[in-house]
């Protein structure tokens, strides 16, 4: 393992000590089940207590199942808590001087780790665990682990990130990781390659062990391991006990002939600045290979994009020699010189490229995916029946955006490292796009009827791709089968259901995570808590209580863990990146620039969708609380700060309710006024976590009845 060190720590440009000392990664693969444990080791080398915030990527299909914390001699384990309650409990623990740790899912493949009140000189080791099923595509299985998050174009708040969760990057960052992978079962004898890292492989019978050639590697690129074998099992079904019954995970990799009708292909290529260097070379190879796969009956067009987008032809043209020669000439000179990453604009332009009536339309997107949000365009593409097949290129591809774009439209995503054979990868992916997926996929368990299945709706099934399902039973079935409607008729595959002790702990939780997507929010929340899972509805939370003598007197200083800039990233030239929130600056702009309330209002408005009166209220109130910590806030002041009369009248009604509870003997008017400000601050994407805490501290130990708080929240949000 990468050894710990007590040598002086490196300083960043802001002269703060580096927080993340190292990461240790341990991977255990048993047949197709994969468990990854990542231990992050933090050190506070400053003279003040700090809060570490680390926004980082994980595999899209990973299911987070554990959080363990070690601080000094104390070891603690996290539990799944409903998201809003976890956030409230975390803030309460921070304000009381304890050390909470919270792990939160921000979006698909994107997470935030918060460690509050790390004392000067203190070390904290945070270990997370996640599960995956490594699904074969043809004769290959891939294990992919992102180690850094590339600088992304656009506004992080569009993807739901609060200001303190905005990731930061530094050319001085030198985060490093160690790695050990233990492989047993059907993949232990496969041909193993790691295209982006030098590794050492040992085999012993039915066991393979892989480590890095050096003690540690830079966290500046994705770790990719490919396992290739012609003897991969084409089907499996495993049963384990679950809550008094049994759950079965079944997977089939069907091979079948598929129709290949003429298609209209819209090739969209990212030529933004972040694609500079190796990525644009890959994009050229991908485009040339895709053009080579077009058939005479196909139609095509090419859209290149950066800050703007341009089409090669005015509409979809025939894939004849004249048009292909023009396209190839353009592909050979294509460069990453088009500025920002306005991907949605380019995909909208692809929609406008007209095809012959009735011809199926698909988009082949070649990109590093380095944008923050694509949800709206994905919905538009799905409505227009355009499948998107993505090829992610580069050393740190943004998998969340690319995978979501493909899955929402019925396409597929593929990721290619700079050291892999782009030609063969594009060949296989283009073939998948041109072949019609099989219809009516269905699982069956001959002698048993499942109590429930997940997912309820199976994805499109392509030749050579594994299809998974989870099913719950009172008693374990003996056989699983899978059927498809293909051009050759109805096809069936069967396999025996076996018990497997290696899967006993992991499988019920993996299956529960698959079930979440089909449940209403309240049922999904309850299930995630029951199975102790991080989800869109739950966070992991653990609180280390501190003795009064060791509790810090002040709130912690916020510190963002900086990412390594990805290897070969064209985004190192930051002029094409949008930085709308400027969240990397320690103090908000309105505090740095002026002490004038008017200037505050002009320089630091709330989120664009916030009500005008809420924006005005927050800028004025936060300024006053910063400059006058003991201020008494009245309804008259709220009126001066722009709160409308109908809102004030509603607040007076709330104030008259006898169920208000005030443990600090603050007048009811002040209690309601402060609660309004606090709720507005918590709901605003433009208010920093530090400022929310200042408002909370000024509010004191005031507790209102939940129904009254709900009424105040409605005033802010409705």
Fold annotation for 264-434: Rossmann fold (3.40.50)
- From the centroid of its chain, how far is CA 224? 18
Q: What pLDDT sits at residue 601?
A: 34
- Global pTM? 0.80
CB atoms within 10 A of CB 373: 22
Cα distance between residue 168 and residue 560, in whole Å: 7
DSSP 709: H
Mean of pLDDT over the chain:
85
Question: Which H or E element spans position 519?
Answer: none
Q: What pLDDT sits at residue 604?
A: 36
> Which residue from 642, 665, 669 is spatially nearest to 653, judged by alpha carbons?
669
Residue 260 confidence (pLDDT) above 60: yes
At residue 326's C-alpha, the angle toward residues 321 and 329, to 5°, is 120
Residue positions counted in the chain: 718
Pick the more confident residue, 199 or 574. Answer: 199
Start-to-end CA span in the chain (Å): 53
pLDDT band at 663 (very low <50, low <70, confident <90, very high): low
Cα distance between residue 600 and residue 697, in whole Å: 21
What mean pLDDT do residues 413-424 have? 83
524, two tokens: 């999904």
Cα distance between residue 115 and residue 130, in whole Å: 19
Burial class (CB in 10 A: 0-12, 13-18, 19+), 438: buried
Domain 20-229+537-559 classification at class level: mainly beta
> Which residue from 386, 395, 392 is spatially nearest to 347, judged by alpha carbons?
386
Could you please report the per-residue DSSP string of 373-437? --HHHHHHHHHTT-EEEEEEESSS--HHHHHHHHHHHT--EEEE-TTS-HHHHHHHHHHHHHSPP
Of these ranges, 315-319, 614-618, 700-704, the one predicted with the greatest mean pLDDT is: 315-319
Same fold, 235-256+439-520 and 264-434: no
Q: What pLDDT sits at residue 613?
A: 83
461, two tokens: 């099934």
Contact at 8 Å (CB) between 283 and 366?
A: yes
pLDDT band at 718 (very low <50, low <70, confident <90, very high): confident
pLDDT band at 664 (very low <50, low <70, confident <90, very high): low
Contact at 8 Å (CB) between 306 and 390?
A: no
3 state DSSP class of 357: coil
Residue ranges covered by each domain of the chain = 20-229+537-559, 235-256+439-520, 264-434, 612-717
Q: What pLDDT sits at residue 271?
A: 92
Residue 592 confidence (pLDDT) above 50: no
Q: What pLDDT sits at residue 704?
A: 72
Pick the more confident residue, 411 or 425. Answer: 411
Q: What pLDDT sits at residue 669?
A: 81
Number of H helices, E strands in the chain: 17, 37
In sign, the C-alpha dihedral spanning 449, 453, 457, 460 is negative
Residue 30 confidence (pLDDT) above 80: yes
pLDDT band at 702 (very low <50, low <70, confident <90, very high): low
3 state DSSP class of 19: coil
* CATH number listed for the domain at residues 235-256+439-520: 2.60.40
Contacts of 678 (CB under 8 A, 6+ apart): 692, 695, 696, 699
69, two tokens: 């914390």
Contact at 8 Å (CB) between 471 and 238?
A: no
What mean pLDDT do residues 294-320 have? 94
pLDDT band at 538 (very low <50, low <70, confident <90, very high): very high
User: For the packed helices 375-383 and 399-409, what is the interaxial angle rounded to 10 degrees?
Assistant: 20
Q: Of all residues in the chain, what percent carry a pLDDT higher than 90?
A: 54
> Which residue from 343, 491, 350, 393 is spatially nearest to 195, judged by alpha carbons?
393
Q: What pLDDT sits at residue 339?
A: 86
Q: What pLDDT sits at residue 336?
A: 87
Q: What pLDDT sits at residue 596?
A: 35
Q: What pLDDT sits at residue 585?
A: 33
Q: What pLDDT sits at residue 439?
A: 81
Of these ranges, 17-31, 212-226, 416-430, the one predicted with the greatest mean pLDDT is: 212-226
pLDDT digits (tens, 9 = 90+) for 445-501: 987 999 999 999 998 888 888 999 999 999 999 999 999 988 888 899 999 999 988
Of these ranges, 10-24, 96-110, 156-170, 249-263, the one predicted with the greatest mean pLDDT is: 96-110
3 state DSSP class of 346: helix
CB atoms within 10 A of CB 33: 21
Residue 580 confidence (pLDDT) above 70: no
pLDDT band at 576 (very low <50, low <70, confident <90, very high): very low
Question: Which H or E element spans position 353?
Answer: none
pLDDT band at 6 (very low <50, low <70, confident <90, very high): very low
What mean pLDDT do residues 329-347 have? 90
Q: Where are the alpha helices (DSSP H) in 417-533?
A: 422-434, 506-516, 521-530
In angstroms, the Cα distances linking 159 to 110, 165, 344, 648, 685 are 10, 11, 14, 33, 11
What's phi and psi for 341, nearest 5 deg?
-125, 70
579, two tokens: 């930085």
């Amino acid at each position: 393992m990468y050894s710990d060190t007590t040598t002086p720590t490196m300083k960043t440009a802001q002269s703060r000590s580096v927080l993340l000392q190292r990461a240790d990664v341990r991977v255990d693969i048993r047949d197709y089940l994969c468990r990854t444990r990542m231990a992050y080791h933090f050190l506070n080398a400053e003279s003040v207590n700090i809060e570490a915030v680390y926004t980082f990527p994980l595999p899209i299909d990973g299911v987070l199942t554990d959080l363990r914390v070690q601080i000094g001699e104390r070891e603690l384990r996290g539990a799944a808590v409903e998201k809003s309650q976890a956030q409230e409990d975390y803030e309460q623990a921070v304000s009381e001087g304890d050390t909470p740790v919270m792990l939160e899912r921000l979006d698909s493949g994107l997470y935030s780790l918060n460690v509050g009140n790390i004392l000067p000189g203190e070390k904290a080791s945070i270990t997370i665990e996640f599960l995956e099923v490594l699904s074969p595509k043809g004769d290959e299985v891939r294990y992919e682990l992102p180690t850094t998050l590339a600088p992304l174009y656009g506004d992080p708040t569009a993807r739901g990130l609060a200001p303190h969760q905005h990731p930061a990057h530094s050319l001085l960052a030198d985060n490093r990781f160690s790695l050990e992978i233990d492989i047993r079962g059907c993949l232990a004898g496969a041909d193993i390659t790691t295209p982006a890292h030098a590794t050492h492989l040992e085999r012993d019978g039915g066991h393979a062990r892989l480590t890095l050639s050096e003690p540690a590697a830079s966290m500046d690129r994705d770790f990719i391991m490919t396992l290739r074998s012609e003897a991969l099992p084409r089907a499996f079904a495993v049963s384990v006990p679950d809550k008094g019954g049994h759950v079965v995970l079944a997977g089939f990799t069907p091979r079948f002939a598929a129709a290949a009708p003429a298609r209209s292909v819209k090739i969209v290529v990212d030529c933004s600045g972040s694609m500079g260097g190796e990525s644009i070379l890959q994009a050229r190879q991908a485009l040339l290979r895709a053009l080579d796969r077009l058939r005479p009956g196909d139609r095509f067009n090419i859209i290149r994009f950066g800050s703007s987008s341009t089409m090669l032809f005015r509409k979809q043209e025939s894939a004849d020699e004249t048009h292909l020669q023009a396209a190839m000439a353009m592909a050979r000179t294509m460069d990453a010189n088009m500025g920002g990453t306005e991907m949605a604009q380019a995909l909208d332009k692809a929609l406008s490229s007209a095809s012959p009536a009735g011809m199926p339309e698909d988009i082949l997107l070649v990109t590093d995916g380095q944008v923050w949000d694509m949800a709206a365009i994905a919905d538009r593409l799905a409505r227009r029946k355009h499948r998107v097949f993505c090829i992610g290129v580069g050393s740190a591809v943004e998998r969340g955006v690319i995978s979501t774009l493909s899955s929402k439209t019925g396409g597929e995503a593929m990721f290619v490292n700079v050291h892999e054979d782009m030609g063969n990868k594009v060949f296989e992916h283009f073939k998948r796009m041109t072949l019609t997926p099989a219809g009516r996929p269905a699982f069956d368990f001959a002698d048993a009827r499942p109590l429930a299945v997940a997912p309820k709706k199976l994805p499109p099934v392509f030749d050579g791709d594994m299809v998974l399902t989870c099913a719950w039973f009172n008693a374990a079935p003996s056989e699983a089968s899978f059927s498809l409607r293909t051009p050759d008729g109805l096809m069936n595959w069967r396999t025996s259901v076996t018990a497997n002790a290696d899967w006993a702990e992991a499988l019920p939780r993996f299956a529960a995570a698959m079930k979440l997507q089909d449940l209403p929010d309240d049922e999904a929340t309850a299930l995630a808590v029951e199975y102790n899972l991080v989800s869109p509805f739950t966070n992991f939370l653990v609180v280390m209580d501190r003795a009064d003598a060791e509790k810090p007197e002040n709130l912690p200083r916020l510190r963002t863990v900086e990412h390594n800039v990805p290897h070969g990233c064209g985004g190192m030239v930051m002029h094409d990146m949008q930085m709308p929130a400027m969240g990397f600056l320690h103090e908000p702009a309105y505090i740095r620039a002026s002490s004038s309330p008017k200037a505050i209002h002009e320089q630091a408005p709330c989120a664009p969708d916030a009500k005008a009166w809420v924006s005005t209220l927050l800028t004025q109130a936060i300024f006053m609380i910063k400059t006058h910590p003991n201020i008494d806030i009245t309804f008259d002041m709220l009126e001066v700060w722009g709160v409308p009369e109908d809102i004030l009248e509603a607040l007076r009604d709330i104030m008259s309710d006898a169920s208000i509870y005030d443990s600090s003997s603050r007048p009811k008017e002040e209690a309601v006024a402060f609660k309004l400000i606090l709720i507005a601050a918590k709901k605003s994407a433009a208010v920093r976590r530090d400022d929310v805490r200042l408002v909370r501290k000024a509010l004191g130990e005031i507790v209102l009845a939940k129904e009254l708080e709900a009424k105040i929240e409605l005033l802010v949000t409705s």
